[in-house]
Amino acid sequence: MSKRKKESPKVHKDLEGFDIKIDKFGEIKGNLNIDKINAFLDRNLKDKKLKK
């Protein structure tokens, strides 16, 4: 049996280097500023609640 190679996930170029983990208390820890993540989501996702 061969070991599976650990592949890194494909990510958008704006989020390159983004790493997120959940600690033992259930807190989400990330290495990017939340404002930068929100700006990325605003640019790239449509808000379903605002859709008429």
- The pLDDT tens digits for 8-42 are 778 888 888 888 899 999 998 989 888 998 999 99
Are 18 and 34 in contact by the 8 Å Cβ rule? The answer is no
User: Helix, strand, or coil here: 6?
Assistant: coil
Determine the pLDDT at residue 48: 81
* Residue 2 reports pLDDT greater than 70: no
Residue 1 inside a domain? The answer is: no
**Which residue segment(s) compose the domain that 33 sits in?**
17-45
In the chain, which ranges are continuous DSSP H helix?
34-44
Determine the pLDDT at residue 26: 94
Residue 21 inside a domain? The answer is: yes
Q: How far apart are CA 1 and CA 21, in angstroms?
A: 30
* Residue 3 reports pLDDT greater than 80: no
* Residue 52 reports pLDDT greater than 70: no
Residue 52 inside a domain? The answer is: no
Query: Percent helix, strand, coil in the chain (nearest 5)?
Result: 35, 10, 55
Q: How many domains does the chain have?
A: 1
Residue 38 inside a domain? The answer is: yes
CB neighbours of residue 35 within 10 Å: 8
Determine the pLDDT at residue 39: 92
